[in-house]
Amino acid sequence: MNKSYKSVLLIAILLAVTPIQSQLTEDENIPAILAENPVDSHLLKLVAALSEQAHFSRKKITNELSPFILINFLEKLDPVKMYFTRSDIRYFQRYRFKIDDALKQGNLEPIYDIFRIYRLRVQQRLGFCVNLLLTQDHNFESDGSYDFNRQVKNWFDDIEELENLWQKKTHNDLLTLILAGQSKEIAIEVLEKRYRRFIRKVNLFDEEDVISIFLNAFVHTLDPHSNYLNPTQSEEYEIQMSLSYQGIGARLNLADEQVQVVNIIPGGPAARDGRLKPMDKIIGIMDEKNKTITDLIGWDLDEVVKLIRGPKGTRVTLQIVPSDSNPDETPYLLTLQRDEVALEEQAASSLIETLEIRDKTYNIGVVTIPSFYQDYQARSKGEAKYRSTSEDVKKLVHNLLEIGIDALVIDLRGNSGGLLTEATALTGLFIDDGPVVQLKDTRNKIEIVEDPISGSVYEGPLAVIVDRYSASASEIFAGAIQDYSRGIVVGQQTFGKGTVQNLYHLDRYSRFQSKKGFGQLTLTIGKFYRVSGQGTQNKGVIPDIRLPSFIDEEVVGEDTKKNTLPWDQIMSLEYDSDLSFHQSIEKLKKNFAEKSKENLPLLFLQEDIDQITEQNKQTKLSLNYEKRKIKRDQFKKVTQDRRTKRLEELGYSNENNFNDFASKTLLNEVLNTVVNLIESKEIESG
């Protein structure tokens, strides 16, 4: 098909506007023109060449990879399969074995062709929804339901079936707003703005935006931690870094058109407040002038970040949907004071917990490490004494030993990683000497990272607490402590990120220059392995003793992501390990399992977790207002009554103490395990 005929065909498609689209404004119906140019073509070829050379997998961009790139691009555009139809997918099959050539040759037309059809479908689908909002009577008395879990393999073949789903989604979106306290009139207005805003956003996407989506679709076929930032995003990234996360202290991403919290930055406003959690969603922000909530669903992430960020000391109020809440639970308002995250506030800290067990008093030191950090500026200036995780922990342990402790606990819960050098240096504080971790690069060359300092600062009983958010450097430390039989690991299976990334500023790798620049590319270039030879990738570190957790392992973790690098193992190194310690751990595990059957606090906590897990599995929602409200209120009452009853049985005063109860219960289990470890060592030595 020649280009002129394709242009005529495309114009004919765009001019075939259905009556539904008459509800859209003129501005919403004017999409940006996407045109090929040599600079953008060069960018595609540059990313393709660098990825083939530098990515750990060393995958070649061939016909074998091409279908995966195509489907990834389509799913980036339409992740819940509600815009395209199966006839669109059949049309796109012409690029099934050509998208690889387009990438390597810098041919943008297939990419733009796919995006133009996506853009048209967005207008049609959301135009249909706007029409429903403005023309239908919404009484919410039907017996229908809407299933918001769209983890399906195929797109719809029947347009009527697809429109029926969109009708249900619109009805559900409207009902959700009303259940959150909006009047029907305001809810319709909010939802109409949301749909129109998304149409406008997609229509305004220019070449840079579309290429960014495509290149991320490509690198995510290699692994989920590789990514591309276009020049605009790269500049925004640098601004965020230079401002030391000035704002609320949370990293965000987009999930199903909603802003989701990835993690909380230690020492920031959100961390100090304590209510915002990973996986929570930010669905609105307070307009301080009008004192009204601006709906953020469907917004571009960069725009949301700009709204949240502001001058130091000013306040921002966000509308939050907790990750563990009922889908219809009323969102709460969270007001935080914008601030910078100082290194001091990210630093490790310590305390002493005292236990009275069997007529004995045990003083147990607890060191909490939020991240693996280092004061890079002080180090680069040549200062001999600079802040770092390992140096701070060394001082804390010395102070605890001077006071007098019977055991030490290292708390790595929520620690998503940081500097490899700090992970190895921290490990070195607790082992005498030897290898700490192995790194394998793209050429299968193994680098062994040794304990940087001979000797240790503490040789007594040791425990490490981890959870599903403990990742990367945390897994290196926990794995080494486990392998060396140096301590017991307690908690939840860790995240499973066993890969190393490198950042490439593309301008430095290009023979040609561009006024706007080419952006930056992050590629996975290696994998971590424990001294035992086992990888942490996908599997993470399995704790010796598992504790219940509200963090859902089916939602959070490396193995929940697409296209992750597989788990594997390499040759084990020579290192000191204690067989008798392993036997002691097995006895502790057996003892814990037996006692857990009659441990009321632990049983009550597990009961609550099971109830929330079961609730989260229910993805089908009634579209009847009364039924939905009754179910929401009933769930809330049952939960409150259950928690109040259980806490009263344990001597707590009211339901508001539940979070304290959960935190205290888990810590008590760790401390009791440490006491059992102390006693087992006393028996061995006695």
Residues annotated as catalytic (active site), given as ranges:
472, 483, 497
CA distance 552 to 238: 33
Its sign, for the CA torsion 226, 232, 236, 239, is: positive
Give how far Cα 60 sits from Cα of 66, 239, 650, Å. Answer: 10, 34, 61
User: In terms of Cα–Cα distance, which of 517, 518, 519, 520 is closest to 501?
Assistant: 520
488-491 and 281-287: which strand pairing?
unpaired
CA distance 18 to 648: 62
User: In terms of Cα–Cα distance, which of 474, 467, 471, 473 is closest to 493?
Assistant: 467
CA distance 145 to 138: 15
CA distance 370 to 266: 6
Asked if 431 and 484 touch (Cβ cutoff 8 Å), the reply is yes
Reported as half-sphere exposure (CB side, CA atoms, 13 A), residue 220 has a value of: 19
Give how far Cα 131 sits from Cα of 127, 163, 440, Å. Answer: 6, 12, 56
415: its two tokens: 């620690």
CA distance 138 to 413: 46
CA distance 139 to 624: 9
CA distance 410 to 488: 10
582: its two tokens: 């392993």
User: In terms of Cα–Cα distance, which of 673, 416, 658, 680 is closest to 547?
Assistant: 673
Output phi, psi for 354, to 5 deg: -110, 130
